[in-house]
A and B are shown apart, each in its own frame.
Chain A
Amino acid sequence: MLVLDLALKSLRNRAFSTSLTVGSIALSVALLIGVENVRVGMRDSFSNTISQTDLIVGAKGGTIQLLLYSVFGMGSPTNNLSWDTYREWAEHPAIEWTIPYGLGDSHRGFRVIGTNEDFYRRYRYRGGQAIALAEGRAGSEVFDVTLGADVAAELGYGLGDEVGVTHGIGAVGFLNHDHLPFEVAGILAKTFTPVDRAVYVTLEGIEAIHFGWEDGAPPMAGEEHTHEDVLAMEEIEITQVTSFFVGTTSRRDVLRLQREINDYEGEPMMAVIPGLALNEMWQGIGYAETGLRLVTIFVVLVGLLGMLVSLYTSLNERRREMAILRAVGAGPKSIVALLVLESVCLAAAGAICGLALVYVLLSAGQPIVEAQVGLFIPIRPPGSVEWLFLGAVVTAGFLMGFVPALKAYRTALHDGLAVRV
């Protein structure tokens, strides 16, 4: 292993340029692996937005649309389902639990969601975590409201504050339900999911503020209802829900149940499996990932090209060294091996430092990123993708090493033992 020994000592001798080269490769490799980690984190947190829900059921329409308005609070629902239909399905023997959602109103840009205590009991996200209350209690009265963590933080609400609801979705609505304000009963703990950006009321509350709106427009001036007009909780008749989440008694029934719901003749409705729909959605935006990955691969190539330049430009001042090695019996192939080995060592050192840098940055930055943007990037041992990247970097270093090596090979053959400068 004389050649390896020579390669390492030669690199150490050029410590400054070696560390610059290793540093630039390490940074580019760290970027490549870091982006990969963020990508995986994003995908995980995306597909973990909701968990343990087997089906999401809503009026017939687009799969992704249903997912968007039910889970992510984006876009608008097309139609509602009747309460009777919902109850009929909720009693279905294959269904263990449901969470009903009544959508369509907002509060200063945040979605207002009508639901019931099943939401607090059954809703699960990121690997089965349940909704928790940071303050107060889960709203259960007609004019109770429970705020998502971001809503409370951004609007500065506390328990007991009054919240007016706007008809429709948007930051500024023209049609307000201000005459029937809600009161903050509880604030949810942060989940880093769309739950944080929603306002939860009871389905009865949704019905109450829409009394007299049966034709889609607010009651005439002077005919608005006030709190005193509103019936007690148990007397309000709920007429509709927008969608509902379903947990089955046995997961084996999911596909059969989905078909059954899609074929239901009483009302046009559909059921989607959230896992599949989320995957479909992610694939839709997957091209952005590919683009990001391409950019980082090019950054690594630039890092390796820097190494190539540094090795290549060092060759001229190393002609004497090559002649000495030739004189003591090194063949041109040994000269090639020396330079290729130097290149491989640089790339490998860069790759390893880059990997280490990722873990240092991750362990330092993980809590900050989670607190600031709600993205949880798991720290895990390097997986097959990381090893593949590292292998590719070292292989690229190996191949690039042949560029200066072949130049040195020709010089060594041509120069012989004389060094013409």
Chain B
Amino acid sequence: MSLAIDVRRLRFRYGNGPWVLDIPEMALERGTRAFLFGPSGSGKTTLLGVLAGVLKPDEGEVNVLGRDLASLSGAQRDAFRAEHIGYVFQMFNLIPYLSVLDNITLPVRMNAKRRARLDGAGVKETAALLADHLQIGDLLKKPVTELSVGQQQRVAACRALMGSPEIIVADEPTSSLDFDRREAFLELLFAECERAGATLVFVSHDRTLEGMFSRTVPLPDINRAAL
């Protein structure tokens, strides 16, 4: 089983609304750096919600690391996400009342299995190492409200990478950064994903970044429900 993500006949809608996702097939191999491209309203964030197990598909299979999320209960999907997935939001990634360090260590404190993935390394040490790699090592003690947007996104990347999950999901994490910073951020993110052997699912509406990825998935082409 070398597929990280294998979606078949997926259909999803909010309540009784119109179909938002209708994807006959989408597969990503492990270790891929996938660029999921699509304009606003093409169901990007919804798809990420389904892949992360927050939203339950109405029809079809969503195999992530060989597990069909559609067949799991809500609590099982939460546990699966906690153990195997790191998530980076577009912006406002951090919990304002926690320090930088506490934000980074949140996933391993939330889930014991994710913590076990540290392989005996200390939580703080691992967080500090990741922070060094993403060049924010000197910010660990700061309140998150004092960070710039770029710094916040790096903290969020550290959090997603904490405990080396197999899949990193990033929802337009660079859209609030200027171009130079985007590339720098992506290079750091790629390096860490490679180090951990993680599959990266990166969503954006901005095609200028496309060249840096190993694979491009145009969402409007595969999602028949897209507007």
A binding-site residues for B, Cβ under 8 Å: 2, 6, 9-10, 12-14, 320-321, 323-333, 414, 416-418
Contact = CB atoms under 8 A, between A and B. Distances in A.
Interface of B: 14, 45-46, 48-49, 52, 54-55, 74-75, 78-79, 81-83, 87, 89, 92-98, 102, 106-107, 109-111, 114, 159, 171
Given A13-B97, A327-B89, A328-B110, 10 more contacts: A6-B98, A321-B96, A325-B95, A327-B52, A329-B78, A330-B78, A416-B55, A417-B54, A417-B89, A418-B45
A325 B95 CA distance: 8
User: A2, A9, A13, A329 — which one has the most chain B CB atoms within 10 A of its CB?
Assistant: A329
Given A13-B96, A13-B97, A417 B78 contact: no
B68 to A, nearest CB: 19
A329 B97 CA distance: 18
B95 A321 contact: yes
Contacts of B52: 327, 417
Contacts of A331: 74-75, 78-79
A324 B86 CA distance: 11
Given A2-B110, A10-B97, A320-B92, A329 B82 contact: yes
Given A416-B54, A417-B52, A329 B81 contact: yes
Nearest to B81: A329
Contact of B74 (A9, A13, A332): A332
A330 B110 contact: yes
Contacts of A10: 97
Contacts, number: 70
Q: Is the interface of A mostly helix, strand, loop or mixed?
A: helix
Given A321-B96, A416-B55, A329 B46 contact: no
7 contacts: A9-B97, A328-B82, A329-B78, A329-B114, A417-B48, A417-B52, A417-B87
B47 to A, nearest CB: 11
A418 B54 CA distance: 10
A344 to B, nearest CB: 18
Nearest to B54: A416
A326 B78 CA distance: 8
A327 B49 CA distance: 9
Contact of A328 (B55, B75, B97, B159): B159
Contact of B83 (A12, A329, A417): A329
Contacts of B98: 6, 9
A418 B46 CA distance: 8
B97 A327 contact: no
A323 B45 CA distance: 13
A12 B102 CA distance: 15
Contacts of A324: 89, 93-95
B110 A417 contact: no
Query: Nearest 10 CB-CB pairs, A to B?
Result: A329-B82, A13-B97, A331-B78, A416-B49, A327-B87, A416-B54, A418-B45, A328-B107, A9-B97, A2-B109
A14 B81 CA distance: 29
A327 B45 CA distance: 13
A125 B48 CA distance: 80
Contacts of A328: 82, 87, 106-107, 110, 159
Contacts of A325: 95, 106
A405 B92 CA distance: 22
